[in-house]
Amino acid sequence: MTTQSAPSLTAIVLAGERPGGNALARALGLEAGVLAEVAGQSCLERVLGALRASDTVGGGLLVGPRREIREASPVISGLLADGDYAWRAPATGPAASAVTAMAECDTFPLLLTTGDHALLTPGLIDDFCARAALVPADVVVGLVAWARVRAAWPESRRTLLRFADGACCGSNLFLLRTRRAAAALDYWRAIESERKRPWRIARHLGLATLARYLTGTLTRDAALALLSRRARATVGYVMLDDPSAAVDVDSSADLALAERILAARENARP
């Protein structure tokens, strides 16, 4: 008889607010976007529920929201009651928060995700971690082909990374495989305000890279090789099959889409 090994990865869940706040939180009258309810459960409840049900992850750190929000929220208090996740105050932005949490964990690899990734499932988490563990890089990023997302939800608006070998969406799933991942996060801290404008990120990698990006001749491998040199840490990627990996909930349109996807999942159950 075989026995299943205990979950081994520590997770870092970023749940702080970006400078300027969260548009969805403002629209719903909430203190934090991760508390937005998606089909009756907050984003953060869904994320931690998926992590706890995965075969790979065994607890971790919840970084954010701010202390006053945490102390006033019965939802967050309930999520922390089991003790497998410890709360930490967020830093000035997501990358800085991740670097601080990574230093505290001091164990590798680490899974990094966000508290607004309401469509996470245990299967998606385990699939990403298994694939990413095979990539020899300091940081491994989960990507989803835009063609998959468009085929599933043609009306969805996503931030696209337009590469010569196919446009991609991010998944807010990262495997921090080594300590050198901190260097990549430090580099990202300098450019994270441009996350919705990929061409500006390409500009940070040099004018020649920007020209290749704008003319559609920059491949994924070439882009990440350039990023690795600038960040002084190797950055790799895996392609994920599930298009819902590309959907986080940080706008009213995303919330409506996530609820439709969850309803479809429920209807598909036997």
Domain 9-268's class?
alpha beta
Q: Which amino acid is at 15?
A: A
What sign results for the dihedral spanned by CA atoms 79, 84, 86, 91? negative
Confidence category of residue 193, pLDDT binned at 50, 70, 90: low
Separation CA 191–CA 95 (nearest Å): 10
Q: What percent of the chain has pLDDT over 70?
A: 92
Tell me what pLDDT residue 1 has.
37
Q: What is the average per-residue pLDDT within 17-40?
A: 87
Tell me what pLDDT residue 63 has.
98
Confidence category of residue 210, pLDDT binned at 50, 70, 90: confident
Tell me what pLDDT residue 3 has.
40
Residue ranges covered by each domain of the chain: 9-268
Q: Would you call 1 helix, strand, or coil by DSSP?
A: coil
Q: What is the average per-residue pLDDT within 119-134?
A: 98
Q: How far apart are the first and last CA of the chain?
A: 29
pLDDT over 60 (residue 6): no
